[in-house]
């Protein structure tokens, strides 16, 4: 008996239907398994932001060194270039980037400095020279020239370093450590990075 003749009989048709039902159930099951696995896959987003020559990778809970350096430079530029007119915008721009543990103390310190900047009519400019990254502590260092000017006083120029630790949570950068000091980079101790 050949297959074409068998499939034209009632037994052949019912056997073919059973096989198709099993295949359909198998395909539906594999579709459900694949859909659940796709929902659990950690996505990695690859971006080429302006100002960078290469790709940076940002995952849900981490990012490449280049991404952290770019964010460190951005924050240092925000903090270092302040005038009485821009100080309110600066506070609003930095607030969502701050880790909850750091937000309160830093915003309180910034508010006191905001009042002083407005009262004294002081302007600050920061020209970055070096951006470096310490892989052991995952710290970004931005070093450059800091210039302070005010009415009735000569400009003061000094070297300044901004030290930042940036982590990523749900693809968003959060600053967990921020320090600014005069002079060159002071290497952070590994136990401070915890």
Same domain flag for 97 and 160: yes
Same domain flag for 175 and 91: yes
Same domain flag for 77 and 35: no
Same domain flag for 105 and 186: yes
Same domain flag for 35 and 127: no
User: Quick one: tokens of 86?
Assistant: 């821009």
Specify the pLDDT at position 131. 93
Classify residue 175: in a domain, yes or no.
yes
Q: How many Å apart are CA 95 and CA 192, to the nearest integer?
A: 23
Specify the pLDDT at position 8. 80
Classify residue 57: in a domain, yes or no.
no
Contact 119, 137 (CB under 8 A): no
Which residue range(s) make up the domain with 181? 65-193
Classify residue 156: in a domain, yes or no.
yes
Q: How many Å apart are CA 194 and CA 183, to the nearest integer?
A: 24
Selection from 114, 78, 115 nearest residue 96 by Cα: 78
The enclosing H or E element of 10 equals: helix 10-40
Same domain flag for 104 and 170: yes
Classify residue 167: in a domain, yes or no.
yes
Domain total in the chain: 2
Same domain flag for 27 and 69: no
Q: Describe the crossing of helices 100-120 and 87-94 by its angle, rounded to 10 degrees.
A: 180
Same domain flag for 121 and 173: yes
Specify the pLDDT at position 188. 63
Selection from 29, 169, 149, 2 nearest residue 99 by Cα: 169
Classify residue 120: in a domain, yes or no.
yes
Q: pTM score, two decimals?
A: 0.71
Same domain flag for 30 and 126: no
Same domain flag for 30 and 106: no
Classify residue 48: in a domain, yes or no.
no
**Per-residue pLDDT in tens (0 to 9) along the chain, 194 residues:** 587 787 788 888 888 889 999 999 999 999 999 998 887 877 666 655 555 667 778 888 888 898 899 889 989 998 888 888 887 888 888 888 899 888 888 888 877 887 888 888 888 899 999 999 999 999 999 999 999 888 888 889 999 999 999 999 888 889 999 999 999 888 766 555 54
Contact 140, 119 (CB under 8 A): no
User: Quick one: tokens of 172?
Assistant: 């968003």
């Amino acid at each position: 008996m050949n297959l074409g003749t068998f499939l034209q009989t009632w037994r052949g048709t019912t056997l073919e239907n059973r096989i198709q039902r099993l295949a359909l159930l198998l395909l539906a099951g594999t579709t459900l398994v694949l859909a659940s696995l796709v929902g659990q896959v950690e996505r990695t987003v690859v971006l080429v932001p302006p100002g960078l020559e290469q790709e940076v990778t940002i995952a849900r809970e981490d990012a490449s060194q280049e991404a952290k350096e770019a964010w460190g430079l951005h924050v240092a530029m925000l903090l270092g270039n302040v005038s009485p007119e821009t100080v309110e915008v600066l506070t609003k721009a930095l607030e969502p980037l701050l880790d909850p543990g750091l937000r309160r103390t830093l915003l309180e310190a910034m508010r006191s400095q905001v009042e002083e900047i407005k009262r004294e009519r002081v302007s600050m400019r920061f020209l970055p020279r070096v951006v470096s990254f310490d892989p052991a502590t995952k710290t970004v260092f931005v070093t450059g020239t800091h210039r302070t000017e005010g009415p009735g006083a000569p400009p003061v120029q000094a070297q300044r370093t901004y030290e930042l630790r940036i982590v990523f949570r749900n693809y968003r950068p959060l600053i967990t450590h921020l320090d600014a000091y005069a002079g060159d980079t002071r290497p952070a101790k590994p136990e401070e990075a915890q």
